[in-house]
Amino acid sequence: MLSFDRHGHLVSELAWASDGSLARARVRLPDGTWLAIEPRATTAAPWGLADRLWRAERFPEGGDPPGEPLTVFEALDWARIDRIPPLAEPTRLPPGGGTAVLNLIAELARAQGVARLAYRGPYPTEQLFVALLESFRYAPADATDPLAAFMAGELAWTPAPHERLFVADGLYVQRRARVEKVVFRGAAYYRPDWQSVVRQAPKRVRDVPEGVLCSLWALGRPVEDHLLLASEGDLLRVLEPVVHECPARPMPPEVVGGVAAIVAAGSARPLAPVIEDVARAVALEWGAVARDLVTIGADRIRVSEGFRAALAERLATAHGRGPRATLALAAIVELGVLVGDALRARAQARLAALPPAAQAAALDSPPPTDGRHARAIGDAIEALLREVDG
């Protein structure tokens, strides 16, 4: 069974066995490569029988798919989908891999007349919740705190797959009544609103009179426009903003400490002190960045001068201590969003490299109760205001 987008590009390929079970499948990823599904591949998983995902360019014809085995998820009866399966190692998937598989599950479930599915796995994380929003709609729709309800196992998911479009070389678009997500040259742009959920979207999709614009976004305003699409997702033009070269300059150490405190406070408790250590070992600076708000290196993280300029513009029209401090706090939070994944990944790697006894001690360590994070954030607000007012 072949599935094509409206431009004639192959999107997915499924082969069914004579008994009606799925024999093999593959789905296309935003970068044009493929992820293969090997049903009933192994029983060596916490939940028993599992399907395996492979990075594979060629459709598997029998035996192991040609390519690299990545991870496994709880085996599904693909002809009668009855749940959303847990995935063993999400971080091993290439960008867009988890979403592509979830969208295939949503497509098949809807075609089978399934009204709602539940996730009962052991990992109801925020990352999974955000991924599910792209291919399902949660119920009840009026949940006061949908993420908390999901983590408590109180949400059901209605299949609502998106249309997948491979529009042009290096350009991928997702639509559900409107353009919701765009991937261009590896950069992913998102709508900020998904049902009642508002997600951070530094690379943002937004409607304009001319169509749909993909932009860098900071502190409530566009910083730089990159793509203009038609409302149906077709490319109108690529926008090439001018990069204003400027010398890099370090952020005040108090700002670095405040950003680390924001990231630590929003992360798993055992990671918090490690995140702060990792942040102290990285140089955080302002500077020129091409087509992004941040570039992340081994020992240096550079935030776009455009972000700083957006903050300066907002502060110039903010009068009084309260509004200015609120803007500075918003900037520190958004800086935390920009660098948080990198700091968490490095902290996780450092924690995983510790001896088992040290890992256990970190997991058992009590959360800080001395107000250290709050003080660090307060100091960062003051330092950022001084630095931008310059």
The verdict on 365 and 289 lying in the same domain is yes
Residues 343 and 352 sit within 8 Å (Cβ to Cβ)? no
pTM beyond cutoff 0.75: yes
Residue that wins the pLDDT comparison between 58 and 356: 356
Domain stops at, among 178, 203, 238: 238
Backbone phi, then psi, for 106, in 5-degree steps? -65, -40
What amino acid occupies position 117? L
> Has residue 243 been placed in a domain?
no
CA distances from 376 to 229, 271, 281, 283, 389 (A): 42, 17, 17, 17, 20
The verdict on 329 and 256 lying in the same domain is yes
The verdict on 263 and 366 lying in the same domain is yes
Residues 222 and 216 sit within 8 Å (Cβ to Cβ)? yes
The verdict on 132 and 176 lying in the same domain is no
The verdict on 83 and 14 lying in the same domain is yes
> Has residue 70 been placed in a domain?
yes
Residue that wins the pLDDT comparison between 266 and 18: 18
The verdict on 96 and 28 lying in the same domain is yes
> Has residue 346 been placed in a domain?
yes
Size of the chain in residues: 390
Range of the domain at 372: 249-389
In this structure, what CATH number is given to the domain that contains residue 89?
3.40.630
Which pLDDT tens digit goes with each residue over 7-65? 999 999 999 999 999 999 999 999 999 999 999 999 988 889 999 999 987 766 666 66
Domain stops at, among 158, 181, 204: 158
Domain stops at, among 104, 133, 158: 158
What's the structural domain count of the chain? 3
> Has residue 368 been placed in a domain?
yes
CA-CA distance, 263 to 224, in Å (whole number)? Answer: 25
Residue 185: which of 131, 238, 148 has the closest Cα? 238
The verdict on 91 and 175 lying in the same domain is no
The verdict on 78 and 134 lying in the same domain is yes
How many other CB atoms sit within 10 Å of the CB of residue 279? 23
Which pLDDT tens digit goes with each residue over 100-140? 999 999 999 999 999 999 999 888 888 899 999 999 999 99
The verdict on 255 and 323 lying in the same domain is yes
Q: What is the mean pLDDT of the chain?
A: 92
The verdict on 128 and 232 lying in the same domain is no
pLDDT score for 56? 84
The verdict on 6 and 154 lying in the same domain is yes
The pLDDT > 90 percentage for the chain reads 78
pLDDT score for 376? 93
> Has residue 244 been placed in a domain?
no
The verdict on 143 and 257 lying in the same domain is no
Q: Which residues face 2 on adjacent strands? A: 13
Which pLDDT tens digit goes with each residue over 172-216? 999 999 999 999 999 999 999 999 999 989 999 999 999 999 999
